Amino acid sequence: MKVYKFGGASVRSAEGIRNIVRIVSTVSDNLFIVVSAMGKTTNAMEIVLDHFMKADRDASLQKLAEVESYHDQVITDLFATKENGTAAVNPLFKELKSLITSGVGDDYDRWYDRLVSYGEMISTRIVSAFLSESGIGNEWLDMRGLLITDSNFREANVRMDESQLRLQKAVDFTKNRIYIGQGFIAANIKGDPTTLGREGSDYSAAVVGNLLNAESVTIWKDVPGILNADPRLFEDTVLIPELSYLDAVELAYSGAQIIHPKTIKPLENKQIPLYVNPFGTPELTGSVIRGSIQKPIDVPVLILRKNQVLVTVRPRDFSFVLEESLSKAFVVMNKHRLKISMIQSSAVSISVCVDNTRYLSGALDELETDFKVSYNDGLELLTIRGINDAIVQKTTGGREILLFQRTRRSGRFLMKE
């Protein structure tokens, strides 16, 4: 069997969903299809949630009405019989409205997962109903009963053993050739919805691939494949046809937006290849990530990670950082979910470059107990793999660099945005 994952951009319009049907109808393999929320629905649901948490139900319901009308438009454009589409999503919007009107927003992260997860519930209902209307039999699954995670809301960790039992029980390719489930969402053992982190649908697809022993996982994207740089930021980008798992992990960790960083491990563990294919031109080959590759990457790879903060901490009692304080600082950062992208230490200080998230201020407050803390925000981190002087000059020339690290093959530059 194979796993296909379609992201938000692929399902943002009726045209995109028709293209899914086109792609799916050309394969005869057993398929598990993983789908994200449509277009910018997750962002919109975050706004619904924010109003709800501020106890502004009217504003929350009003934003939800926008989400509903967007989906309604896609349904109108898509289905020959509109009722096929509305019948699939109406119960979900009803549930959402009743959660918003009767719920009390106590715990932000828990409510995030409860509400925002509906984006994927709705999109998969639509895709499943449209596949059926197009004569492609399929079974829709609620991943909130099949992927089991811990209760680390908004960034839950999948429990592979329990999930495997449930998923293998639910999926029987002798009964259905095509199953469809949500990316990004899951539940803890008690059944409370959880999510796997923003852009987590790739990770869901990889986990499903692992648990069902897929022959391959394919992520369909609105790009030609994996490029050596983001074409919106750099000129003259080229396609990288083949990457090793290690290459892919390093690129994702450096901030390459192409795949979610957690995606590779479940695939590497079972040596399942990951294809990144162009959604708009499925006849062209994209990129493949796998264990052994024919030809190492021979072009420089540029990755820009925006919205970074450089945090420097010094123990207040002047103790040596590496001997005494390192673990204390990291425990606090980990507890507050800081994503560390670079580390530098001296005798009495340690500097880390982290994503600027809503958790940062809580972490800084707690670090203040034992450390003197200073920070710079508004930074971006450029990673160059396959570094040479010309490319350094071209990409960093004239820029103010706050921190620079170099190894034999790579360079990392933390700069003002």
Catalog residues that contact ligand ASP under the rule CB under 6 A: 7-8, 36-37, 42, 119, 183-184, 198-201
Determine which helix (DSSP H) or strand (DSSP E) holds 187, and give its type and residue range. Answer: strand 185-188
Determine which helix (DSSP H) or strand (DSSP E) holds 302, and give its type and residue range. Answer: strand 301-315
By CB under 5 A, what part of segment 36-95 binds Mg ion?
36
Which residue lies nearest ligand ASP, judged by its C-beta? Answer: 201
Q: Which does 155 bind (CB under 5 to 8 A by kind): ligand ASP, Mg ion, none?
A: none
164: contact with Mg ion by CB under 5 A: no
Residue type, 111: W
Stretch of 30-38, 144-152, 162-170, 304-312 lying at the interface with Mg ion (CB under 5 A): 30-38
Q: Which does 224 bind (CB under 5 to 8 A by kind): Mg ion, ligand ASP, none?
A: none
Closest CB to Mg ion among residues 7, 300: 7
Size of site (CB under 5 A) for Mg ion: 3
Least distance to ligand ASP, CB of residue 193, Å: 13
Which residue lies nearest Mg ion, judged by its C-beta? Answer: 8
Q: Which does 225 bind (CB under 5 to 8 A by kind): ligand ASP, Mg ion, none?
A: none
Question: Rounded to whole angstroms, how far apart are CA atoms 250 and 406?
Answer: 15
Closest CB to Mg ion among residues 8, 225: 8
124: contact with Mg ion by CB under 5 A: no
For 277, phi and psi rounded to 5 degrees?
-115, 150
Least distance to ligand ASP, CB of residue 155, Å: 12
8: contact with Mg ion by CB under 5 A: yes
Question: Is 302 within 8 Å of 383 (Cβ atoms)?
Answer: yes
Look at the block and give the residue holding tokens 């200073």: 374
How many CA atoms lie within 13 Å of 413's alpha carbon, on the beta-carbon side? 22
Closest CB to ligand ASP among residues 37, 226: 37
Least distance to Mg ion, CB of residue 111, Å: 21
Stretch of 33-41, 80-88, 157-165, 229-237 lying at the interface with Mg ion (CB under 5 A): 33-41
Could you tell me how far CA 290 lies from the centroid of its own chain?
20
In the chain, the largest separation of any two C-alpha atoms, in whole Å, equals 72
At 192, list the tokens.
Answer: 């409370």
Burial bucket for residue 53 (CB in 10 Å: 0-12, 13-18, 19+)? middle
Closest CB to ligand ASP among residues 110, 198: 198
Report CA-CA distances (Å) from 44 to 66, 73, 143.
9, 16, 21
Q: Which does 52 bind (CB under 5 to 8 A by kind): ligand ASP, Mg ion, none?
A: none
Question: Rounded to whole angstroms, how far apart are CA atoms 174 and 114?
Answer: 33
Residue 350 CB neighbour total at 10 angstroms: 20
Among 183, 198, 201, 203, CA closest to 263: 203
Least distance to Mg ion, CB of residue 129, Å: 21
7: contact with Mg ion by CB under 5 A: yes
Least distance to Mg ion, CB of residue 221, Å: 10
Among 328, 291, 295, CA closest to 313: 328
Least distance to Mg ion, CB of residue 119, Å: 10
Closest CB to ligand ASP among residues 41, 351: 41
Closest CB to ligand ASP among residues 183, 300: 183
16: contact with Mg ion by CB under 5 A: no
Q: Which does 200 bind (CB under 5 to 8 A by kind): Mg ion, ligand ASP, none?
A: ligand ASP
Report CA-CA distances (Å) from 295 to 83, 247, 249, 291.
52, 12, 18, 12
Least distance to ligand ASP, CB of residue 35, Å: 9
Least distance to ligand ASP, CB of residue 173, Å: 25
Least distance to ligand ASP, CB of residue 8, Å: 5
In order, the DSSP letters of 46-110 are HHHHHHHHTT-HHHHHHHHHHHHHHHHHHHHHH-SSHHHHHHHHHHHHHHHHHHHHH-----HHH
At 275, list the tokens.
Answer: 């294809």
Closest CB to ligand ASP among residues 259, 384: 259
* Site residues for Mg ion per CB under 5 A: 7-8, 36
